[in-house]
Amino acid sequence: MRAFAIVCTILVMIQNVEAGEVQDAEWNEILAEHRQSRDLLQFCSCKIALRISVTQADPSTPRVIQSTGEYWHSRDALRLKTLLDGEKLDLIWENGLERTLRSRQIDGKNQYAATISGSSRRYHDRLDVFGRALLVVNVPGTSTFLPLEDLVTEAERVEKRWSTEQNGTKQTTIRLKMKQGNGESEQWRVDVTLDSQINQLIRHVSYYYGGSSPEKSMFRRDETVEKTVELKKGVLFPTEISGSSGGGEQIGYNPKKTTISDIKLDRRFSKQDFVMRYPAGILMTDSLQGTSYKIDETGKPISKPVTLGEVPPPPSAESTRRDVLMVSQEGESSSISFIVILISIGVILVGIILRIRNR
C-alpha cells in the first residue's frame, strides 16, 4: 500500500509539472501575440489629450489638470510636443540621445530652457502615447516605462498567473512582485491583464503596495483601456483610457481620462521630422559634456562652454573692469577694517597695563 501511495504521489507531481509546462507554453504564446500587436503600431503619429481631476478635501471642488500634445513614434526615435499648465515642451528621443526645449511666458516674455542628455529611458513623459495607451507599462515608483516582457524580467518574481473567460473573450492576468527600491518600506506589485478581444493588448493594469491584492492594498493606481479603433484589418490602437488612484477601497479617486485621436499608421518619417529648431542665442545645458553654452537655431554652440556649476564669464570688457573694481574696493575696505581693529585692540591693551601700574 505504501509503495502504491508513493507511485500515485509521483504521478500527481508529474502531472502538475506537465500542467505547469502547458501553462508556461500558453503564456509564451499570449506574450508573443501581445508583442506582435504592439510592434504593428510602432510607426505612427497621433494627438493626445489628458484630463486629471485631483480629489481635494472638498470632493465637490476637485483640481482639474488638462494637457494636450502631438506624438510621433518610430522604431528608433520619438517626438513629443505638449502643453501643460502654460509650459510648452518639445522632446526628441533618438538612439539613446534626448533633446528638450521648454518654453513659458513670464511677465509677457518668452523664457526658454534647452537640454541635451543621454537617456536609455525611451518612454517617461506623462503624455507619452505608448505609456498612456498601456502599450508599455510603468515601473512603479519611477518615471520609467518598459515593454511588458522587459517588466517581467525586471520584477523580483512572477507571483501568479490566471485566466478568466466571458462571452468568448479570454483575459489573462500576470501578477508581478517588483524589486524593493532604496528607501522604500513597501514592495510594489503590478497586475497586468491581457485581453484576447483586443489582440492580447493590455486591457488593465493595477499598481499597488501594502497588500497582496489591489483590494487589500494601502495604495493603488488603476488604468484601463476603454475603447480601441481598428486602423486596418486586425490592427487595433487604444483611443480611450481611464484611470484612478487612492487607497485600496478608494476606487475612482483622482480620476483621469486619456483620449488619443488623429492616428496615422505606417508613417514614413523623414529626418526633418526629428530635427529641433531653437530660438537663437538661448542657453543649452549639455549633460553629456557637463557644460552650458549659447546655441544657434540648429543647436550648434556659438559661445565658449562653461562647466556646469561654475559662474559664466562676463559678457564684455567693461563689465570685467567694473567687477574687478568692485572686488578691489571690497578688498581695500576689508584691509582698512582690519587695521582699525588692530589699533583698537592696541589701545585697550595699553589701558589695561596703565591700570595695573596705577594699582
Q: Are 257 and 282 in a shared domain? A: no
Q: Are 203 and 225 in contact (CB under 8 A)?
A: yes
Q: Are 268 and 283 in a shared domain? A: no
Q: Are 122 and 182 in a shared domain? A: yes
Q: Evaluate whether residue 9 is within a structural domain.
A: no
Domain boundary among 242, 274, 306: 274
Give the integer Cα–Cα distance in Å for 24 and 345. Answer: 88
Supply 110's cell numbers: 518668452
Q: Evaluate whether residue 336 is within a structural domain.
A: no
Q: Are 238 and 249 in a shared domain? A: yes
Q: Evaluate whether residue 358 is within a structural domain.
A: no
Grade residue 19 by pLDDT with cuts at 50, 70 and 90: very low
Q: Are 299 and 176 in a shared domain? A: no
The mean pLDDT value for 320-331 works out to 31
Q: Evaluate whether residue 344 is within a structural domain.
A: no
Quick one: CA dihedral 280, 281, 285, 286, positive or negative?
positive
CATH number, domain with residue 175? 2.50.20
Q: Are 268 and 297 in a shared domain? A: no
Q: Are 289 and 201 in a shared domain? A: no
Grade residue 168 by pLDDT with cuts at 50, 70 and 90: confident
Q: Are 269 and 145 in a shared domain? A: yes
* Other beta carbons less than 10 A from residue 20's beta carbon: 10
Grade residue 352 by pLDDT with cuts at 50, 70 and 90: very low
Q: Quick: pLDDT tens for 57-114.
A: 676 778 888 999 999 999 999 999 999 988 999 999 999 999 999 999 999 899 999 9
Q: Quick: pLDDT tens for 170-187.
A: 999 999 999 987 666 789
Q: What is the per-residue pLDDT for 326? A: 31
Grade residue 166 by pLDDT with cuts at 50, 70 and 90: confident
Q: Quick: pLDDT tens for 216-248.
A: 888 999 999 999 999 999 999 999 999 999 875
Closest to 274 (Cα-Cα) out of 132, 77, 128, 119? 77
Supply 181's cell numbers: 527600491
Q: What is the per-residue pLDDT for 269? A: 92
Q: Evaluate whether residue 31 is within a structural domain.
A: yes
Q: Are 214 and 239 in a shared domain? A: yes
Give the integer Cα–Cα distance in Å for 239 and 261. Answer: 7
Q: What is the per-residue pLDDT for 26? A: 93
Give the integer Cα–Cα distance in Å for 186 and 178. Answer: 10
DSSP collapsed to 3 states, 1-33: CHHHHHHHHHHHHHHHHHHHHHHHHHHHHHHHH
Q: Are 200 and 139 in a shared domain? A: yes
Q: Are 249 and 148 in a shared domain? A: yes
CA contacts within 13 A on the Cβ side of 225: 29
Burial of 83 (0-12, 13-18, 19+ CB in 10 A): middle
Q: What is the per-residue pLDDT for 6? A: 52
Q: Evaluate whether residue 348 is within a structural domain.
A: no
**Domain that residue 205 falls in:** 23-274
Q: Evaluate whether residue 339 is within a structural domain.
A: no
Q: Evaluate whether residue 294 is within a structural domain.
A: yes
End-to-end CA separation in angstroms for the chain: 118
SS3 248: coil
Q: Are 117 and 145 in a shared domain? A: yes
Q: What is the per-residue pLDDT for 290? A: 96
Q: How many domains does the chain have?
A: 2
Give the integer Cα–Cα distance in Å for 290 and 309. Answer: 9
Give the integer Cα–Cα distance in Å for 177 and 185. Answer: 14
